[in-house]
Copies of this chain bind each other. A is one copy, B any other.
Amino acid sequence: MSELRDAVDLENWSCPLPLRDHPAIVLGHGGGGTLSSELVEHLFLPAYADSAGVLSQLGDAAIVQAGSARIAMSTDSYVVRPRFFPGGNIGDLAINGTVNDLAVTGAAPLYLTVGMVLEEGLSLEELNSIAATMGRAAREAGVSIVSGDTKVVDSGHGDGIYINTAGVGLIPDGVDLGPHRVRPGDAVIVSGPVGMHGIAVMSVREGLEFGSDIVTDSAPLGGIISELLASGADVHMMRDPTRGGVAASLTEIAKASRTGVDIVERDVPVPDDVRAACGFLGLDPLYVANEGKFIAFVASEDADRALDLLRGHPLGAGATRIGTVTEEHPGIVVARTGIGGTRVVDLPLAEQLPRIC
């Protein structure tokens, strides 16, 4: 392996234990938590040494210039198991996930590419069902699948199907969202009840079946977000709380914007059956993944207007203000608990629920 000349210097990693003792990939590196961040910060960023500095934005999508157009670009690979779960399958998840990563930047999602890695032996029937779901989801989201690629790997060297979707959206003139616009006093709004996607997937996972009627909330957010932006409410930043849930999204925004976030735990809308399942599984609903919700940071004076608009849309019926941006404890999210105490909401080390997207 003489090609391996670019040694990783593990000494400089801030999260020493799991990496220094195990200089190999573990599941947590894909979980959207601290291990994922470490990998990006210490391995990918130095390796890619992105001259344009765009990659270091580290948002859901990159904002770049293509000729006279300002476009958002995003990519996501989907490896969820099982491939079919209550309310959806890996196919609509792969469409909605990338559509939403584009939408929360303020872009109008336009085009997707689809790259599939299929395992020899996957039935054409199942592939067709997944592809048909993708087609329907794309039409519902108003995007076109414009380019595709399919590779097949030997039986035993894949897992049925992995799907990558990458997408391009157009940022309308005047739209400028991001951590640089987050201000103390901003209202923190979530567009509806949280935790449904993660629990829906868990409910049918082998060995973990439990009775539940929870279905995934997977849905395309381009429409509701474009209505919110068109309403004139002064939205400063948005994010869709997928891997790592609301907790990871808020923590990342607090760090990137160098502000603090205070949330009131009992104001976070958690459906009763999600709360029950979380209790049963020992999970914190704040960390469970969603796929049809977004978090918006909105100028304080526009919070009510934004909430009214969201609640008038089928995908925002349960929109709620859950907190406020503060000058205190920059980079840190603090939750006021039901019994009147406070706790720090931190990025998970790895993930609570592996492979939910």
Task: List chain A positions with a Cβ less than 8 A from chain B.
Answer: 1, 3-8, 10, 19, 23-31, 36, 39-40, 43-44, 47-52, 54-55, 61-62, 64, 66-71, 73-79, 84, 89, 110-111, 113-129, 131-135, 138-139, 144-154, 156-159, 162, 164, 166, 168, 170, 355, 357
Contact = CB atoms under 8 A, between A and B. Distances in A.
A67 B64 contact: no
A156 B159 CA distance: 9
A352 to B, nearest CB: 15
A10 B8 CA distance: 50
User: How many copies of the polypeptide does the oligomer hold?
Assistant: 2
A27 B164 contact: no
A168 B66 contact: yes
B168 A74 contact: no
Contact of A115 (B26, B115, B121, B153): B115
Contacts of A158: 157-159
A54 B144 contact: yes
Contacts of A138: 48
Contacts of A69: 66-69, 71
**Which 6 residue pairs are nearest across A and B when measured between Cβ atoms?**
A30-B152, A166-B166, A75-B113, A47-B131, A67-B69, A62-B146
A125 B50 contact: no
B164 A52 contact: no
A152 B27 contact: yes
B61 A147 contact: yes
B77 A149 contact: yes
A47 B137 CA distance: 11
Contacts of A28: 152
A202 to B, nearest CB: 16
A54 B7 contact: no
Given A7-B125, A8-B125, A73-B111, 4 more contacts: A25-B119, A48-B114, A79-B153, A151-B357
